[in-house]
């Protein structure tokens, strides 16, 4: 398993906190990890591992969000195995899609 980025850890449900509070915290963790990935601070595998650990966030969203996120993460990990020219997945486009996913997830959590 890949190490988590420095300063980031999976959020654990603290007793007494509502699910949405933890889901919001996990979304913040994911967004920070995505920004760190964009800066080159860690690998696609690290981002993917961290994102997959945000189980409370994924449980708080409609099932389609998990499907989309996992698909994007799989493609991001695949793109990291090849140079940009030889891969059919553009990392830049995948990061843009992950950013859009996070924005839509935020809107969904806020509406609940």
Those residues whose C-beta lies under 8 Å from the C-beta of residue 99, and which sit 6 or more positions away, are 34
The pLDDT value recorded for residue 82 is 73
What's phi and psi for 110, nearest 5 deg? -65, -35
Judge whether 107 and 94 are in contact, CB under 8 Å. Answer: no
Q: Is the pTM of this model over 0.95?
A: no
Helices 44-52 and 63-80, axial angle in degrees (round to 10)? 160
The pLDDT value recorded for residue 81 is 79
The pLDDT value recorded for residue 15 is 38
Question: Residue-wise pLDDT tens for the chain (112 aa)?
Answer: 444 444 444 444 333 334 446 999 999 999 999 999 999 998 999 999 999 999 999 999 999 999 999 999 999 998 887 765 555 668 889 999 999 999 999 999 998 7
């Amino acid at each position: 398993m890949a190490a988590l980025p420095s300063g980031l850890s999976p959020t654990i449900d603290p007793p007494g906190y509502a699910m949405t509070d933890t889901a919001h915290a996990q979304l913040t963790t994911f967004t920070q990890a995505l920004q760190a990935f964009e800066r080159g601070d860690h690998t696609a595998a690290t981002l993917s591992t961290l994102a997959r650990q945000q189980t409370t966030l994924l449980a708080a969203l409609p099932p389609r969000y998990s499907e989309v996120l996992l698909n994007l993460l799989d493609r991001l990990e695949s793109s990291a195995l090849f140079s940009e020219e030889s891969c059919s997945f553009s990392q830049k486009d995948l990061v843009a899609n992950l950013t859009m996913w996070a924005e839509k997830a935020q809107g969904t959590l806020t509406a609940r």
